[in-house]
Structure 1
């Protein structure tokens, strides 16, 4: 897998993670159906947030590492 494809995959993962976090917040704060479900509704909304965090946070660190390494390689090749 090339770096371009890996970066695209990581950015997609970050986007999906952020969307899941926002969905969980929406479900928890504004959806009356999940509020009526009680504990099961809270678990559903918190699982959306948890999976969103799992998808978004580690990929941000890895993507940052890849981009810093790329910039260091460009800087070394220009000097």
Structure 2
């Protein structure tokens, strides 16, 4: 897999993760249906936030490492 495809995949994971976090917050604060479900509704909203964080946070770190590595590789030929 090329770096460009990997970066696109990681950006998509971040977007899906942020969408899941937003959905979980919406369920927790504004959804009457989830509130009526009681504990199961709280678990649903918490799982949305948890999966969203699991998708977004590690991918941000890995994407940062890839971009820093890419920049470092670009600087090496310029110094020689």
TM-score, normalised with respect to structure 1: 0.98
2:42 alignment counterpart: 42
1:18 alignment counterpart: 18
State the Cα distance separating 1:73 from its structure 2 match: 0.7
SS at match of 1:12: helix
2:72 alignment counterpart: 72
Could you list the runs of 5+ residues in structure 1 that have no partner in the other structure?
none
1:60 alignment counterpart: 60
Q: Pairwise CA RMSD of aligned residues?
A: 0.4
Matched positions, count = 79
Spell out, residue by residue over 1:60-79, the C-alpha distance to the aligned partner (whole angstroms, 9 max, x if none): 00000000000101111111
SS at match of 1:64: helix
TM-score, normalised with respect to structure 2: 0.97
